[in-house]
Amino acid sequence: MAETVMTGEMQEGGGVKPRASGAQGPWALAFRKLTADRAAMVALAALILIALICIAAPLYASWSHTDPFRSNLDGQVMVDGKLVAALEQSTEGLGLGYTPVGPTWQLGNYFLGADNQGRDVFARLLYAGRNSLLIASGATLFTLIMATIVGASAGFFGGITDAVISRVLDILWAFPIYLLAICLSVVLINQSMKIGPITIDSGSLLLPIFIIGIVYVPYVARPIRGQVLSLRRSEFVLAAIGLGVPSSRILFRDILPNVLPTLIVFIPIMMAIDMLVEAALSFLSIGVQQPDASWGTIIQDGVGLLYTRPWVALSGGIAIALTVLALNVFGDGVRDALDPKAKLRIGAK
């Protein structure tokens, strides 16, 4: 029962075995193990730092008197005590092309330089981080909720329900993930999406959250189904069924709490994956839409400036790499703490 979970110890497969009276609970043990993992803690600190910096984006924009969503083609930047144009015209040769001002390395003053619209890249990078983190979090939450509902239903009810759900998941998972996400984005990006009474505007961040969230449901749902299927045949569940406990109570009080550690292990992993997918979609102009930014759009903005202002693309790339690295390291720590023998990554596409 649920009480058993909270007072037992983690066992292989996410199950729980009773513990001796006075010993630490599984959550406490897991927490202790996690906090003892230095790499995971450094990664967590990095994640918190990145999140805080990104959350402070409006403060930075206000402090540096810049509007990162507005073109600033005639803007000027103070560099070494001199005012220079945010977009400088080439004066040599045939005088072709404009080059945005490069990094000043001064906070509050075009720290990473300007993009081709004369906008402060660093300010946009911070706002982009908010969107990237929000989409990754939202998509992860959406995936986990949907996967839990779908996987638990298939595993618990079995029979035709399981057969139908499993086949649908198999079909969905048979598509290359990126291709599926791109197809959905291309179709949905130019029009609002209606799901019953809910309407999602084409420019809304909810759209990439939904698209990225939905394509990874099979990835999480299939192990959840397997785990629920295993729990469904465990003695304590069979006993509850024998005692006439309603299915809903068994599902919510006995099975789902045992699945929870697996779901928690999935969180950082999924966030990292979702962030990469979001970056890819935004890079292809079918994710976050202008004038909003994500780290993927920052890289896209920088592609046309690679030869002259590589920091525009590099900054977005570095931000993604650091965050995904931190999520992966933290995810490893969480997995080791909660589910030491899981092999979640093996099947990842």
Nearer to other proteins, 200 or 229 (CB): 200
CA gyration radius, the chain: 24
| Position 306 contacts other proteins (CB under 8 A) | yes
Concatenated DSSP letters of 167-217: HHHHHHHHS-HHHHHHHHHHHHHTS-EEETTEEE-TT-THHHHHHHHHHTH
Whether residue 181 contacts residue 229, with contact meaning beta carbons closer than 8 Å, is answered with no
Only one of the segments 24-32, 89-97, 103-111, 206-214 lies at the binding site for other proteins (rule: CB under 8 A); that segment is 89-97
Q: Which stretch binds other proteins (CB under 8 A): 32-40, 52-60, 307-315, 317-325?
A: 307-315
Beta bridge partners of 99: 88
Q: Smaller CB distance to other proteins: residue 28 or 179?
A: 179
Nearer to other proteins, 240 or 280 (CB): 280
Cα gap 80→66, rounded to integer Å:
19
Figure out which of the listed residues 52, 83, 94, 198 binds other proteins, where binding follows CB under 8 A: 94
Look up residue 148 and give its two tokens.
Answer: 């839990």
Per-residue binding string, other proteins, 113-152, x by CB under 8 A, is ---xx-----------------------------------
**Secondary structure class of 11 (helix, strand, coil):** coil
In the complex with other proteins, which residue's Cβ is closer, 208 or 268? 208
Residue 16, Cβ neighbours under 10 Å: how many?
Answer: 19
Structural tokens at position 170: 């198999």
Is residue 97 at the binding interface for other proteins, with CB under 8 A as the rule?
Answer: yes
Cα 34 to chain centroid, rounded:
21
Cβ proximity to other proteins, 132 vs 297, nearer residue = 297
Strand 87-89, strand 76-79: pairing: unpaired
* 136, 149 contact by CB (below 8 A): no
Angle between helices 256-283 and 310-338 (to 10 degrees): 170
Assess 307 for contact with other proteins (CB under 8 A).
Answer: yes
Q: How near is the Cβ of 248 to other proteins at its closest, in Å?
A: 44
Binder among 76, 90, 199, 247 for other proteins (CB under 8 A): 90
Q: How far is the CB of 73 from other proteins (least distance, A)?
A: 4
What is the nearest approach in angstroms of other proteins to the Cβ of residue 291? 6
Instruction: Report if residue 194 touches other proteins, rule: CB under 8 A.
Output: no
Footprint of other proteins (CB under 8 A): 69-71, 73-74, 87, 89-90, 92-99, 116-117, 189-190, 202-203, 285, 289-291, 303-309
